[in-house]
Amino acid sequence: MSFRWPNKDPDETLDYSVDWSRFLDTATISSVKWFVKSSLFNTKTELAAGQNLTTASSSATTDSIQNVSQTNTDTVATINISGGSNNVEYTFFCQMTDDTGSTAERSIKLRLKER
């Protein structure tokens, strides 16, 4: 099951978060990695902080989305997202490792719509 964030305009730069508090119980987040795939390019790719993922297909379709920055507290992981292609749905994957060494991943859908 995927969660869903509110739609984003391709010109906006916004923060999106995953709250891990119910999953963690008394543990805390040690590290977070973000991955993304889009409906145009169905390949899951790590999107590190400051990285701009630009992909192109043989039909000259270009797709570009950026992880401007990322932060986390003991229980919440946040990514600041910029860019993306209008009318494209992205799936972001938040992979979290806690202080006990356990790793979990959540997928979140994000649709880009011109406002």
Kindly give the confidence (pLDDT) of every residue in the chain, 115 residues in length, as a single tens digit, with 9 standing for 90 and above.
679 999 999 999 999 999 999 999 999 999 999 999 988 778 898 988 887 777 655 455 566 889 999 999 999 999 999 999 999 999 999 999 999 999 999 999 999 999 8
CA–CA distance, 77 with 24 (Å, rounded to integer)? 12
pTM for the model stands at: 0.89
pLDDT, position 39 = 80
E strands of 1-115, at which residues? 3-4, 13-19, 29-38, 45-46, 52-56, 62-72, 76-83, 89-98, 103-111
